[in-house]
Structure 1
Amino acid sequence: MAADEGKRRGLGRGLAALIGDDAPADKRGQPAATISPNTVPIEFLKANPFQPRRDFTKEDLADLTASVAEKGVIQPIVVRPVSGATNSFEIVAGERRWRAAQAAKLDRVPVVVRDLSDAETLEIAIIENVQRADLNPIEEADGYDRLMEEFSYTQADVSKLIGKSRSHVANTLRLRSLPKKVRGFLAAGDLSAGHARAIMGHDDAVALAKQIIADGLSVREAEALGKKPFKAVKAKKASVSAEKDADTKSLERNIADSLGLAVSIDHKGDTGGKVLINYKTLEQLDEICRRLANGKI
């Protein structure tokens, strides 16, 4: 019952309400412990076990680390005390800032301390990442599933919590039924959720996913592909790869080295061709757009 009451209190409040000015009260009705903000030694902080994001690559953190090294951590990290421990805090929101601060070799970081339940901690972690598009579709789906399994949320509850439609929540949760290999493509950013839904339930979903990636198919093309028996579909990529000449391969390597991203060129002679650039994060996409605008690719 207490967990349900805590859930109802948290639902619909949003990230600002949960960690903003309206600090939660403790059992005596007094405001919970709050430092607004203070700095603590970086070793006092520990990772959030409810963090839905599992992948923190050096590439993802590179720009943030450079910013932190130059300007410090501007936005305080939201933490909660670790029960029964002294000088120990669990990160609620801001794990990327904490990791970047470690990489930048900072000794102390600013924090705001909040007294939050496990359910509220998971809520905040999911909301923060979803709002900033920091989660890949599988991490997002697993986060929703965890709210439902561990804290008895319904799909309607999750929809209200994150401010997205119930159909979005339902469609995201369905991604968990994909084969493990296809979920891996999603998590790596090789496939979009739209591509994955197009082949969901297909007997040859893994093979179809590989062809979508290899041929750089659009979601609409993937939908058409998913409606056909896979054996009736020609696997074009093998022949294309075999026909690539040394100049094309060299150009692929040059662009890939410049961007730090995987690049594939499908040149069809006089009829033109296409260039496929694979990115995993919005920051990488922004960098591609910036370079295109400045003519530096």
Structure 2
Amino acid sequence: MFNQLQDNALISVTPSALIDMALGGNIRRKRRNFEEFKAKIKAQGIIQPVVARPIEGNESQLELLGGYGRRDAALAIGLDEVPVLIRVVDDQTALEIHLAENQDREDVTIVDEVEFAKRYISLHHGDRQSAAQALGWEVSKLSSRLELLTCTPDVLDALDDGVIKVVTP
């Protein structure tokens, strides 16, 4: 069923048919304002489609590239269907789509940026200049976020919660 879909097709599917991306899934460590988000979706529906791609050999599920929060809210409130924009793309493009959607959120934290840095540096095979350019950052910002990868989970949680802050020169 799903393997026959064309790139950029817009369809509706049950949210349970959307599975996490095999290349890493959602990068958000914590959900902020999720109850408010669910209430908004319950009242208005899902306005912007999630983005997914067909999975080779799997006719009943799609791999979710962007829109994890919308999918999760739809599941939580019991929506029967969600709008899905189909993208027929390779793994690198799938990861780029996933990262781009997350990077454009309004509530990006410094810990989210650490994850972006880690994934973009991997996606660009260690080339900091290329990764920084793709992120729209200076190389110094990318490097400082990569340095935070050495922090313990407790320190990252404290950063994420705003208990401690990163001071930039």
Say which of 79, 85, 96 aligns to 1:106.
79
Distance 1:65 1:138, change over 3 A: same
Distance 1:90 1:56, change over 3 A: farther
2:40 counterpart residue number: 67
Question: Displacement, 1:77?
Answer: 0.6
Opposite residue 166 of structure 1, the aligned amino acid is V
SS of 2:33's equivalent? helix
**How far apart, CA to CA, are the structure 1 residues paired with 2:133 and 2:118?**
15
Query: Is 1:53 the counterpart of 2:27 in the alignment?
Result: yes
Distance 1:152 1:66, change over 3 A: same
Spell out the pairing of 1:13-52 with structure 2 (5 A cutoff).
33-34=6-7, 36-49=9-22, 50-52=24-26
What are the superposed Cα offsets for residues 76-115 of structure 1, whole Å, 9 maximum, x if unpaired? 1110112210121011111111111112210100001101
Query: Is 1:147 the counterpart of 2:99 in the alignment?
Result: no
**How far apart, CA to CA, are the structure 2 residues paired with 1:133 and 1:191?**
20
Residue 53 of structure 2 contacts residue 86 of structure 2 at CA under 8 Å; is this kept in 1? yes
**How far apart, CA to CA, are the structure 1 residues paired with 2:75 and 2:133?**
35
CA RMSD, aligned part only? 2.3
Residue 77 of structure 1 contacts residue 91 of structure 1 at CA under 8 Å; is this kept in 2? yes
What are the superposed Cα offsets for residues 124-176 of structure 1, whole Å, 9 maximum, x if unpaired? 22222222144432332233223333651411111121212222111111111
**TM-score, normalised by the number of residues in structure 2:** 0.83
Question: Displacement, 1:54?
Answer: 3.5
What are the superposed Cα offsets for residues 255-276 of structure 1, whole Å, 9 maximum, x if unpaired? xxxxxxxxxxxxxxxxxxxxxx
Distance 1:179 1:101, change over 3 A: closer
Aligned structure 1 segments of 4 or more residues deviating by more than 4 angstroms = none
Say which of 166, 170, 191 aligns to 2:164.
191
Q: Which has the higher strand share?
A: 2
Opposite residue 99 of structure 2, the aligned amino acid is I
Question: Displacement, 1:42?
Answer: 1.6
1:82 counterpart residue number: 55
Spell out the pairing of 1:1-297 with structure 2 (5 A cutoff).
33-34=6-7, 36-49=9-22, 50-57=24-31, 59-149=32-122, 152-194=125-167
Q: Which has the higher helix share?
A: 1
Q: Which runs of 5+ in 1 are unaligned?
A: 1-31, 199-297
SS of 2:35's equivalent? helix
SS of 1:185's equivalent? helix
Distance 1:153 1:118, change over 3 A: farther
**How far apart, CA to CA, are the structure 2 residues paired with 1:45 and 1:156?**
34
What are the superposed Cα offsets for residues 16-72 of structure 1, whole Å, 9 maximum, x if unpaired? xxxxxxxxxxxxxxxx82354211122211122423523343x52112211111111
Residue 124 of structure 2 contacts residue 131 of structure 2 at CA under 8 Å; is this kept in 1? no
Question: Displacement, 1:73?
Answer: 0.6
Distance 1:56 1:184, change over 3 A: closer
**TM-score, normalised by the number of residues in structure 1:** 0.50
Bigger CA radius of gyration? 1
1:213 counterpart residue number: none
Opposite residue 83 of structure 1, the aligned amino acid is E
**How far apart, CA to CA, are the structure 1 residues paired with 2:152 and 2:30?**
23
**How far apart, CA to CA, are the structure 1 residues paired with 2:75 and 2:86?**
20
Q: Which runs of 5+ in 2 are unaligned?
A: none
Between the two structures, name the one with larger relative contact order (CA 8 Å, sep ≥ 6): 2
Percent identity, please: 25
SS of 1:87's equivalent? strand
**How far apart, CA to CA, are the structure 2 residues paired with 1:164 and 1:151?**
14
